[in-house]
Structure 1
């Protein structure tokens, strides 16, 4: 499951169990990407607070499927199969179209999203790629280009935060050897109007 010790749900002390109870899915299942924090429960709280508000908050303006698509793309660029698998399942549920979902994944694998996305959303993906692989090269003109395609400053912030979050979580997963053993793919805290609802369904 990982390269460091992880405390299972049934072995958790009362403090950790209270947090696990907020994030668990069916049959007390806690995703490995979350239980990896079990030796430092406060970092699990921090992770979930960031994740819920960046990706699953009703105040976001960009479509949730697009934010998930950014996550899949960034995770693929980082060669983080764990996050690709989880968030592709989330994207597939949001699109509710297996053919379209599979076409997107094939486009990601060859890094050619032109057939799947329009100019504006392609620009957001290009920015996410640069932020992931060439972050030191980001310049004001990159932001100006996003604006020229029609993104507002707030929407640009959404793209930035989703891409940045996935770079963080990809490095957590890859750096600690987290795998999908025992996970239920595609669960997420979908109660977007309530930032305190972390339940994975």
Structure 2
């Protein structure tokens, strides 16, 4: 961990940040829970894939590692996420989902350059406006979280999906994971 906040211990975690600023992060945690586990045209696995992908594009190793684990918990091959980062066009992703991933990649890397054609590609693949909006929300949440993590100096120690036991995977798949995490770290969510 980079010591950007002297009050944090050298082994501080994201939970340490939440515990230090509960009044500011409570509403955000509630929103993140809604975006990632609320009703959506996108499955939990699709949302976690977007979270891992956006975090990888933002070079946030903590969130990329954590949400690669989440995606793995939902059955996404972790090699797929790495393939997306290397070459999105040849990555073995469902062709219908590629326009959504292209949209969030562009939104992450050059947000002021979004066009009607970008949205049209999503709609032409059969996705609804609700699905696109939910993808945009996941992208936005993780663009914010990536900066929160990097700005506070939190780093990821271990994110090897092969070292995660079934009980942890079950916890990651919980519909209430995000709000449970917030409550466990002193937030009123």
- Residue 107 of structure 1 and its aligned partner are, at CA, apart by 0.5
Q: Secondary structure at the match of 2:179?
A: coil
Check the 8 A contact 1:92/1:101 in 2, yes or no: yes
CA distance, structure 2, for counterparts of residue 113 and residue 169 of structure 1 = 26
CA distance, structure 2, for counterparts of residue 182 and residue 124 of structure 1 = 29
Does residue 66 (structure 1) correspond to residue 46 (structure 2)? The answer is yes
Structural mapping, 1:20-169, within 5 Å: 32-57=13-38, 59-95=39-75, 101-112=77-88, 114-169=90-145
How many residues align? The count is 170
Structure 1 alignment gaps of length 5 or more: 8-30
- Residue 113 of structure 1 and its aligned partner are, at CA, apart by 5.2
Check the 8 A contact 1:90/1:188 in 2, yes or no: yes
TM-score, normalization by structure 2:
0.78
- Taking a change above 3 Å as real, the CA distance of residues 63 and 191 of structure 1, as seen in their structure-2 partners, is closer
Structure 2 alignment gaps of length 5 or more: 185-189
CA distance, structure 2, for counterparts of residue 177 and residue 63 of structure 1 = 31
Check the 8 A contact 1:104/1:113 in 2, yes or no: no
TM-score, normalization by structure 1:
0.73
Check the 8 A contact 1:73/1:108 in 2, yes or no: yes
- Residue 189 of structure 1 and its aligned partner are, at CA, apart by 7.3
- Residue 3 of structure 1 and its aligned partner are, at CA, apart by 1.8
CA distance, structure 2, for counterparts of residue 116 and residue 35 of structure 1 = 37
Check the 8 A contact 2:54/2:108 in 1, yes or no: yes
Deviation track 1:91-118 (CA, whole Å, cap 9, x = no partner) reads 11110xxxx6132133034133534212
RMSD: 2.8
